């Protein structure tokens, strides 16, 4: 990732002896942070367009091993500076990203205990980031243990919020839209694949949290650059509408083990009165550090298919046999066991997928259930069930990789850890070496089930460190990582761009289990996607899951046209076409959009947006003049009136429009779509009607 610094003027305006707080305003002047130490307590507030958007809120920590950091502070100085650079991500929604902010640093002493703690605020045109910093010099806190971070976010009213329940181990929930005063844990509808529903408070929610004030201001709270720290939740005092941070505990109930010099992740506030700005914000990426890898030529966006939906929706098995009640790693000779007939990760079926991928321009084929251990994958021996290098007898690693490579396709590795990070770390070096030796360059990993070491949580500091360790170890072997059930992303893909995807939310797999709420994909871009791309696995063409598996209760709550739109509205450099090849063959004309759509972009525009209602995005494919447009709507449907003014003036294009048919409906008639062609220019306007739970997709290419 090259950094091209266009202007970078550092102006030190403050002085070491300042005794008063200070203001810092965004470059465009619409957002102002006031920060001060009031009666010994660090305090901040935020104004947007001259009105409060965060009321005075206090900052501090309780500690497990010493006096608290909640008061007794003296302000020793303030410094302000300005920063402006434009940088180029390895992959992304835009080829160039501007990082422009004004900064305020508050330095503070806690004289009674000879301690120092600083606060750094960065104020952008699209919001605010701030973090705590603990310098090493002259600071009596060399090591300290956080019992709780007590960062307040005092809201100005009973806003509308899009939220999921607080939980240390899963984010796989349906979203709820309600007033803040109505937040109550809503765990119904979550079949948590992490098997642990650890709600911590009746008014606790996860981030990223999207809100809207009655005055029409959108406010999002999340975090950026979560490294060596526990993931933050928010606990609401619903009498006063004040959120306070609530970190994920470790096995002892502590929340952070710190050694100075160190700092917390950034606490982020994205703010605008135009919902589209929430989606085009780069604040979280900008608050992360530049890329740490010198060579990134091996990192490439991936469009893939997989041996996956057959198990998730079709009721087939990851395991090779039913005969092994419990597996001890390396002690079972599988060739002596009877295979069951339902194991899709077999040579013949994988070849079928390789052919399908090659014939339709996909880069990779994911194969789950290829390796020994699934017979007892989250049972009593899960700490030693997988070694990640031993295939089942019906999966010929060399022959299948050779065949895939001969057809211009790669296989995608799968590492299910079943939550045993300890077992994964034990085997990681040989597992990544095995991948490199066999020509794999990407891995989908997973953390289903309670974490081992016992008592740790998916979102605690220990696991946060594990996920990043996996990413940096994988980089040494030029491997890209897509981790499921991992902590929610916080923009780390800027620094480590081989982190090409995460799940960390309720994905398409739930359409096969119980169905997602029809508004789901109009909320995710405002919430989960703020921190980084999601492996949402769209592209379901057969919504009636009973047709694949008579036992299933699942129904994909979307029209077919909306499934196409998701490749544009759910930005990710990693996109799966999740349905079975035979379902794509049934709807070959609609499948053409998935074949055509890009996975990397030079430019992105959000044309229409409202959380929980609709999202319409237009993106220009990297290195081309082709545009793709997608719109996804809630159960209320939507009417779009699009201006194509993003096209080059004076040029003619052909638009292929994949729209809901007039009688389409996500429940009763999801497969009704109409494909039409039109010549368009930058002056064209398109009127499109979206069905309940529907959407549309458009590909636009210049006419030669």
| Cα 404–Cα 405–Cα 407 angle in degrees, nearest 5 | 70
Is 446 near ligand NOJ (CB under 6 A)? yes
Mask for 153-192, x = binds ligand NOJ (CB under 6 A)? ----------------------------------------
C-alpha–C-alpha distance, residues 534 and 22, integer Å:
38
Q: Residue 494: how many CA atoms within 13 Å on its side-chain side?
A: 26
Is 192 near Ca ion (CB under 5 A)? no
Question: Least CB distance from residue 445 to Ca ion, whole Å?
Answer: 11
Is 416 near ligand NOJ (CB under 6 A)? yes
Is 660 near ligand NOJ (CB under 6 A)? no
Question: Between residues 255 and 484, which has the closer beta carbon with respect to Ca ion?
Answer: 484
Q: Which stretch binds Ca ion (CB under 5 A): 188-196, 350-358, 410-418, 437-445?
A: 188-196
Indicate which of ligand NOJ, Ca ion, none lies near residue 100 (CB less than 5 to 8 Å, by partner kind).
none
Indicate which of Ca ion, ligand NOJ, none lies near residue 174 (CB less than 5 to 8 Å, by partner kind).
none
How would you label 215-250 residue by residue, b for 16+ Cβ within 10 Å and e otherwise?
A: eebbbbbbbbbbbbbbbbbbbbebeebbbbbbbbbb
Is 93 near ligand NOJ (CB under 6 A)? no
Neighbours of 399 (CB within 10 A): 12
Token readout for 500 is 């090409």
C-alpha–C-alpha distance, residues 450 and 458, integer Å:
8
- Please write down the HEC assignment for all residues of 206-231: ECCEEEECCCCCEEEEEEECCCCCCC
Question: Between residues 105 and 312, which has the closer beta carbon with respect to ligand NOJ?
Answer: 312
Mask for 541-570, x = binds ligand NOJ (CB under 6 A)? ------------------------------
Contacts of residue 266, Cβ cutoff 8 Å, sequence gap at least 6: 122, 129, 130, 131, 223, 224, 225, 287
Distances (CA, A) of 404 to 366, 485, 658: 12, 28, 31
Contacts of residue 107, Cβ cutoff 8 Å, sequence gap at least 6: 16, 75, 76, 77, 78, 79, 116, 118
Considering only residues 502 to 531 of the shown chain, the ones binding ligand NOJ according to CB under 6 A are 503, 509
Considering only residues 481 to 500 of the shown chain, the ones binding Ca ion according to CB under 5 A are 484
Answer for the pair 542, 579: CB distance below 8 angstroms, yes or no: yes
Question: Least CB distance from residue 311 to ligand NOJ, whole Å?
Answer: 7
Question: Least CB distance from residue 446 to Ca ion, whole Å?
Answer: 7
Answer for the pair 554, 515: CB distance below 8 angstroms, yes or no: yes
C-alpha–C-alpha distance, residues 604 and 56, integer Å:
36
Q: Which pairs with CB-CB distance under 8 Å and at least 24 residues apart come from 295-300?
A: 296/1, 296/90, 296/497, 298/441, 298/478, 299/90, 299/91, 299/480, 299/497, 299/498, 299/500, 300/91, 300/363, 300/441, 300/480
Indicate which of ligand NOJ, Ca ion, none lies near residue 363 (CB less than 5 to 8 Å, by partner kind).
none
Mask for 462-501, x = binds ligand NOJ (CB under 6 A)? ----------------------x-----------------
Indicate which of Ca ion, ligand NOJ, none lies near residue 368 (CB less than 5 to 8 Å, by partner kind).
ligand NOJ
Q: Catalogue the active-site residues.
A: 509
C-alpha–C-alpha distance, residues 197 and 370, integer Å:
29
Question: Between residues 410 and 444, which has the closer beta carbon with respect to Ca ion?
Answer: 444
Q: Map residue 575 onto helix, strand or coil.
A: strand
Q: How far is CA 415 from the centre of its chain?
A: 19
Question: Least CB distance from residue 188 to Ca ion, whole Å?
Answer: 18
* Cα–Cα nearest to 173, from 233, 120, 220: 233
Question: Least CB distance from residue 448 to Ca ion, whole Å?
Answer: 7
Residue count, binding to ligand NOJ (CB under 6 A): 10
Question: Between residues 102 and 190, which has the closer beta carbon with respect to Ca ion?
Answer: 190
Question: Between residues 235 and 537, which has the closer beta carbon with respect to ligand NOJ?
Answer: 537
C-alpha–C-alpha distance, residues 179 and 177, integer Å:
7
Of residues 177, 310, 368, 511, which one binds ligand NOJ by CB under 6 A? Answer: 368
Question: Least CB distance from residue 388 to ligand NOJ, whole Å?
Answer: 12
Is 193 near Ca ion (CB under 5 A)? yes
Question: Least CB distance from residue 195 to Ca ion, whole Å?
Answer: 11
Is 193 near ligand NOJ (CB under 6 A)? yes
Indicate which of Ca ion, ligand NOJ, none lies near residue 416 (CB less than 5 to 8 Å, by partner kind).
ligand NOJ
- Positions in the binding site for Ca ion (CB under 5 A): 193, 484
- Positions in the binding site for ligand NOJ (CB under 6 A): 193, 308, 312, 368, 416, 446, 448, 484, 503, 509
């Amino acid at each position: 990732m090259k950094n091209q610094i266009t202007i970078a003027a550092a102006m030190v305006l403050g002085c070491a002896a300042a005794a008063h707080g200070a203001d810092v305003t965004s470059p465009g002047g619409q957002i102002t942070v006031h920060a001060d130490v009031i009666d010994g307590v660090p305090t901040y507030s935020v104004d947007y367009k001259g009105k409060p958007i965060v009321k005075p809120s206090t900052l501090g920590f309780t500690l497990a091993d010493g006096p608290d950091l909640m008061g007794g502070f003296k302000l020793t100085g303030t410094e302000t500076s300005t920063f402006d650079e434009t940088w180029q991500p390895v992959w992304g929604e835009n080829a160039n990203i501007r990082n422009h902010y004004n900064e305020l640093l508050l330095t503070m002493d806690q004289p009674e205990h000879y301690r120092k703690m600083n606060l750094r605020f960065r104020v952008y045109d699209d919001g605010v980031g701030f973090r705590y910093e603990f310098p090493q010099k002259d600071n009596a806190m060399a090591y300290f243990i956080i019992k709780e971070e007590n960062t307040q976010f005092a809201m100005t009213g009973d806003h509308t919020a899009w939220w999921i329940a607080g939980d240390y181990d899963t984010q796989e929930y349906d979203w709820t839209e309600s007033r803040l005063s109505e937040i109550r844990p809503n765990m119904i509808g979550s079949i948590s694949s992490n098997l642990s529903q650890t709600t911590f408070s009746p008014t606790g929610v996860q981030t990223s949290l999207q809100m809207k004030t009655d005055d029409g201001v959108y406010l999002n709270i999340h975090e950026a650059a979560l490294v060596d720290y526990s993931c933050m939740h928010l606990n609401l005092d619903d009498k006063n509408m004040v959120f306070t941070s609530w970190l994920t505990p470790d096995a002892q109930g502590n929340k952070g083990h710190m050694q100075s010099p160190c700092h917390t992740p950034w606490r982020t506030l994205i703010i605008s009165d135009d919902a589209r700005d929430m989606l085009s914000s780069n604040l979280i990426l900008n608050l992360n550090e530049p890329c740490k890898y010198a060579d990134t030529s091996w990192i490439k966006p991936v469009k893939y298919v997989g041996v996956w939906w057959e198990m998730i929706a079709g009721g087939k098995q990851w395991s090779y046999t039913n005969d092994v009640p419990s597996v001890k790693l390396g002690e079972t000779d599988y060739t002596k066991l009877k295979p069951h007939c339902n194991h899709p990760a077999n040579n013949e079926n994988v070849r079928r997928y390789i052919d399908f991928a090659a014939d339709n321009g996909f880069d990779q084929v994911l194969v789950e259930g290829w390796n020994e251990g699934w017979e007892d994958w989250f049972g009593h021996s899960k700490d030693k069930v997988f070694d990640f290098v031993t295939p089942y007898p019906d999966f010929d690693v060399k022959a299948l990789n050779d065949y895939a490579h001969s057809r211009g396709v790669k296989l995608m590795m799968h590492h299910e850890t079943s939550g045993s990070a300890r077992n994964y770390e034990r085997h990681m070096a040989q597992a990544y070496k095995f991948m490199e030796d066999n020509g794999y360059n990407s891995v989908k990993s997973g953390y289903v089930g309670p974490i081992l070491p016992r008592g740790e949580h998916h979102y605690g500091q220990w696991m946060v460190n594990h996920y990043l360790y996996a990413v940096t170890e994988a980089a040494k072997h030029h491997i890209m990582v897509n981790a499921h059930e991992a902590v929610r992303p916080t923009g780390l893909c800027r620094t480590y761009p081989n982190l090409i995807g995460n799940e960390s939310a309720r994905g398409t797999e739930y359409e096969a289990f119980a169905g997602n709420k029809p508004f789901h994909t109009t909320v995710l871009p405002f919430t989960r996607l703020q921190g980084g791309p999601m492996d949402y696995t769209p592209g379901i063409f057969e919504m009636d899951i009973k047709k694949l598996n008579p036992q299933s209760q699942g129904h994909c709550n979307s029209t077919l046209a909306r499934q196409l739109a998701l490749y544009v509205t759910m930005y990710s450099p990693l996109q799966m076409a999740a349905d079975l090849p035979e379902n794509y063959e049934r709807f070959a004309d609609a499948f053409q959009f998935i074949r055509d759509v890009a996975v990397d972009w030079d430019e992105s525009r959000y044309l229409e947006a409202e959380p929980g209602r609709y999202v319409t995005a237009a993106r220009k494919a990297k290195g081309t003049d082709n545009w793709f447009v997608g719109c996804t709507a809630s159960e209320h449907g939507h009417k779009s009136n699009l201006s194509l003014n993003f096209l080059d003036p004076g040029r003619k294009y052909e638009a292929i429009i994949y729209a809901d048919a007039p009688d389409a409906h996500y429940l009763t008639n999801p497969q009704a779509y109409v494909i039409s062609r039109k010549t368009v220019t930058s002056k064209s306007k398109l009127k499109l009607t979206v069905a309940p739970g529907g959407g549309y997709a458009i590909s636009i290419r210049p006419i030669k």
